[in-house]
């Protein structure tokens, strides 16, 4: 792989280029701008990003992040319009979070993969002066071919600033309306008819024009100013294009493939946000329903104050003996009090309490419904003993680290896979993103399945990950969600449902 220094360039030899951002921390969005001879775009249609994934008849395409892959831009140089002089590649921090800058992005690099040619890589120098966007690379014409140049120019004004510099009209955030000012009513001044010696005074000391007299001879209140004339557009004239929106759109409705993920873009400080997760099952068949189809919905959770960002990706299945390690998601700023020597009797009592911590302390289910108004800010709506739906609601996303959704099959159901029950989890953020997490495996003798993990430590918002991990044969032990978001099956407490 050839390394490019800032300002360095190289010839492009492949017929298809894949440009991909790589980083080890905060997410970065990738955008392409098609630039003409005047150094500007022709229109907003020349911006390729998450809200507009294609331009130039498909010669430049945006590919969304999937699983462990980052966002990518695909470029077919031979398909780019001859009037396009450059394709500028821009990296930007989340436009929905004005506090995020490139100072929080570690090990940022951009890689260009060419079909049939050596890949290129540009390690972007650190940006620590409040930059929220940067022109990283540009593809430019040179003779009959194309070259790539490493740029690395930062913008503190973010993606909107870059787009504006290249001629794109960006939709501005609506300004907050100032509070209405109180209106003081002034009684109308009565002027004797024909008496020019009396003049009304307007607020501020300026003379107000005399008001016309009514039929009774008294002056009426001041006349309102005439409305400003607005010219109508010429018939047949094209309407102006609306400004480009840089706000990420909702996901819509999608279903996860096995082992995949989707990300809700959300404001974790939104106190009105409510995420709704449902366990849906129809029993699968009349025979299956007749034998029994009582499933229970569980939410195992790790609060943000306890969560660790570990060495393995959240949702990784681990074996017995796993010891969670990692960086605290929410580092504590509290200074611990100095240690005080305890009497031996108090030590024994403290050890007894620690050994008998309630096993259901970090779980919401039919015996512990939870609460939305106070901790854990997770609540189950009740227990359904027949095929249908159970619902868990989550508020205060800022208080959560990880939430693992599991299902339990009651002993009364007998053998049968969760797939045969028609079970699935559906997660709705209330803002147009609805993710279905289905099951794919026929596992006949498992009482537990861990279906989906919601990772609130993801900087973009919340990542929904497909898990589908089953307990061992005829094992009643509940799954365990570790502090680092990893999942261990057959390690939790046993609790038989006997009603």
What are the pLDDT digits (tens) for 296-308? 999 999 999 999 9
CA distance 147 to 136: 14
CA distance 391 to 386: 14
CA distance 246 to 256: 26
Is the Cβ–Cβ distance between 473 and 493 less than 8 Å? no
Q: What is the per-residue pLDDT for 476? A: 87
Is the Cβ–Cβ distance between 433 and 252 less than 8 Å? yes
CA distance 457 to 471: 26
List every span in the chain annotated with CATH 2.60.60.30.
Answer: 2-165, 252-330+360-488
In whole angstroms, how far apart are CA 363 and each of 53, 366, 450, 491?
Answer: 41, 10, 13, 14
Is the Cβ–Cβ distance between 144 and 13 less than 8 Å? no
DSSP code for 172 = P
Specify the DSSP element, H or E, that contains 468: strand 461-470
Cβ neighbors of 277 (< 8 A, separation 6 or more) are 299, 391, 392, 393, 394, 405, 425, 426, 427, 428, 452, 454
Specify the DSSP element, H or E, that contains 290: helix 286-291
Q: What is the per-residue pLDDT for 14? A: 77
Cβ neighbors of 260 (< 8 A, separation 6 or more) are 66, 67, 465, 466
Q: Which residue has the tokens 């009105």?
A: 272
CA distance 274 to 430: 7
Is the Cβ–Cβ distance between 392 and 366 less than 8 Å? no
Q: What is the per-residue pLDDT for 360? A: 47
Residues of the chain under the 50 pLDDT cut: 175-176, 185-186, 188-191, 196-224, 333-337, 339, 352-360
Structure tokens given for 361? 């302390």
Q: Which residue has the tokens 């794109």?
A: 168
CA distance 97 to 31: 17
Q: Can you name the CATH fold of 252-330+360-488?
A: Lipoxygenase-1 (2.60.60)
Q: What is the per-residue pLDDT for 415? A: 66
Q: What is the per-residue pLDDT for 248? A: 66
What would the pLDDT profile of 8-24 be if each residue is shown by its tens digit?
A: 999 988 789 999 988 87
Structure tokens given for 227? 């409305």
Q: What is the per-residue pLDDT for 149? A: 93
CA distance 92 to 247: 13
Query: What superfamily in CATH does domain 2-165 come from?
Result: sav2460 like domains (2.60.60.30)
Closest C-alpha among 232, 216, 401 to residue 308: 401
What's the pTM? 0.57
Is the Cβ–Cβ distance between 397 and 384 less than 8 Å? no
Closest C-alpha among 276, 275, 257 to residue 396: 275
Q: What is the per-residue pLDDT for 216? A: 46
CA distance 61 to 73: 6
Structure tokens given for 389? 């739906």
Closest C-alpha among 423, 383, 486, 80 to residue 282: 423
Closest C-alpha among 343, 355, 469 to residue 407: 469
């Amino acid at each position: 792989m050839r390394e490019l220094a800032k300002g360095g360039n190289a010839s492009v030899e492949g017929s298809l280029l894949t440009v991909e951002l790589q980083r080890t921390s905060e997410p970065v969005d990738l955008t392409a701008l098609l630039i003409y001879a005047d150094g500007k775009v022709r229109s907003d249609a020349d911006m390729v990003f998450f809200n507009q994934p294609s331009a130039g008849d498909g010669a430049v395409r945006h590919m969304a992040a999937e699983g462990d892959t980052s966002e990518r831009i695909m470029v077919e140089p031979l398909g780019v319009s001859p009037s396009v002089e450059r394709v500028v590649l821009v990296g930007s921090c989340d436009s929905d979070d004005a506090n995020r800058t490139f100072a929080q992005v570690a090990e940022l690099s951009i890689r260009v993969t060419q079909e049939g040619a050596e890949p290129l890589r540009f390690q972007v120098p650190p940006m620590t002066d409040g930059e929220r966007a940067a022109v990283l690379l540009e593809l430019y014409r040179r003779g009959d071919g194309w070259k790539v140049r490493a740029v690395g120019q930062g913008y503190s004004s973010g993606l909107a600033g870059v787009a504006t510099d290249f001629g794109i009209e960006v939709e501005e955030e609506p300004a907050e309306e100032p509070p209405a000012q109180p209106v003081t009513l002034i009684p109308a001044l009565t002027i004797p008819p024909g008496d020019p010696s009396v003049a009304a005074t307007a607020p501020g000391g300026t003379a107000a024009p005399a008001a016309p007299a009514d039929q009774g001879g008294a002056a009426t209140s001041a006349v309102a100013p005439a409305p400003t004339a607005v010219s109508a557009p010429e018939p047949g004239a094209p309407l102006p294009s609306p400004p480009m929106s840089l706000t990420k759109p909702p996901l819509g409705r999608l279903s996860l493939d096995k082992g995949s993920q989707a990300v809700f873009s959300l404001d974790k400080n939104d106190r009105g946000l409510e995420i709704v997760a449902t366990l849906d099952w129809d029993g699968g068949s009349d025979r299956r329903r007749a034998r029994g189809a009582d499933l229970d919905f569980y939410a195992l959770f790790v609060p943000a104050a306890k969560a660790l960002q570990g060495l393995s990706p959240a949702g990784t299945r681990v074996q017995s003996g796993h010891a969670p390690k990692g960086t605290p998601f929410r580092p504590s700023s509290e200074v611990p009090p100095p240690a005080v020597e305890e009497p031996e009797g108090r030590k024994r009592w403290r050890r007894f309490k620690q050994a008998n911590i309630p096993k259901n302390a970090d779980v919401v289910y039919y015996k512990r419904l939870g609460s939305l108004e106070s901790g854990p800010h997770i609540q189950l709506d009740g227990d359904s003993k027949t095929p249908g739906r159970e619902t868990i609601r989550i508020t205060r996303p800022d208080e959560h680290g990880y939430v693992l959704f599991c299902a339990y099959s009651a002993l009364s159901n007998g053998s049968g896979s969760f797939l045969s029950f028609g079970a699935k989890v559906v997660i709705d953020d209330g803002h147009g993103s609805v993710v279905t997490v289905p099951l794919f495996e026929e596992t006949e003798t498992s009482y537990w399945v861990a279906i989906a993990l919601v990772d609130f430590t993801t900087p973009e918002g919340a990542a929904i990950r497909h898990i589908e991990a089953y307990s061992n044969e005829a094992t009643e032990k509940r799954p365990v969600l570790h502090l680092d978001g990893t999942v261990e099956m057959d390690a939790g407490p046993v609790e038989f449902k006997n009603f």
